Structures are given as structure tokens and as C-alpha cells.
Amino acid sequence: MEKEFSEKVVQINRISKKTKGGNKMRFAALVVVGDKKGKVGAGVAKALDVRTAIQKASRVAQRKMIQIPLKNTTIPYQVTQKYKAAKVLLKPASVGSGIIAGGSIRVVLELGGVRDAVGKILGSKNKITNIYATLEALKTLEKLRGSK
């Protein structure tokens, strides 16, 4: 199952907890997984070492995958979505223009198989909330497309 998906580690955080015996270190990983054909998902997981955190986050991302309704190489229409403090704007683009978007939006769209789109991060610059906002925007496309 893992062979057909591409994965990208977006962020790794070192987390420290103060205890009686000293600092307890853990790691949190944010991973985006996609098949580059219209399916994409994101996951966050924590573990005592980086490798385990990435593997756990990858499994979470695979469980939370969504289908993107593609129109040729782009999304069908413009959508704005808010998730907590993050707000993202996604617009369709003409063939050959590529993905014109910053950091976290770019990763989600590339792994989801979207080749031409414009994206803008409005509001929070937090990578986790921006990725979830992008996924929510793509889910909205799916819902509205399915209701017609």
C-alpha cells in the first residue's frame, strides 16, 4: 500500500517536557501523503525518535486521505476556506502555468496531482493549520461538485 504513495515531511518539531528527572524529549512530525492522481492526506504524530514519528504520521495521513475533483490538470473553480486562524485561497489556472503557491499549499497540491493552480495563504503562517485549511478547501470542492 505504501509503494504507490509519495510522501513529504513538511515539519519536524522537537518537544521537551520538564520532569523531576530532567527534560523528556519527543518529536512531532507533519507529513503529507499523496498518489499524484487526485488523492492526498496529511497527518501529525509524536514519538520518542524522528523516524518513528514520521512513520506514524505517514500512517495517519494515509487513513485521512481525500479525493480531489480534478478538471484536467487544475481544480474546477475558485474556493476560499478558513480553518482555525488559517485562511487559504485556491484558484484554477490555465494549463502550463504550474502551481503558484507558497510552502504548505504547494506540497498538498503537488502530492494531490494538481499541476496548475494558484494558491494564497491568508491569516496564520502556521504550517499545520494551513495544510488542514487546504485539505478542507479541497473537501469543499468535492462536496459542492457532488451535490450538483
pLDDT category at 1 given cuts 50, 70, 90 is very low
**DSSP per-residue letters across 67-92:** E---BTTB-SS-EEEEETTEEEEEEE
Q: Within this chain, do residues 75 and 97 fall inside the same structural domain, yes or no?
A: yes
Range of the domain at 30: 2-66
Mean pLDDT, the chain, rounded, equals 93
More confident residue, 3 or 46: 46
Structural domains of the chain, count: 2
Alpha-carbon 115 to chain mean position: 15
- So what's the pLDDT on residue 147? 55
Q: Within this chain, do residues 6 and 26 fall inside the same structural domain, yes or no?
A: yes
Residue range 113-140: mean pLDDT, rounded:
96
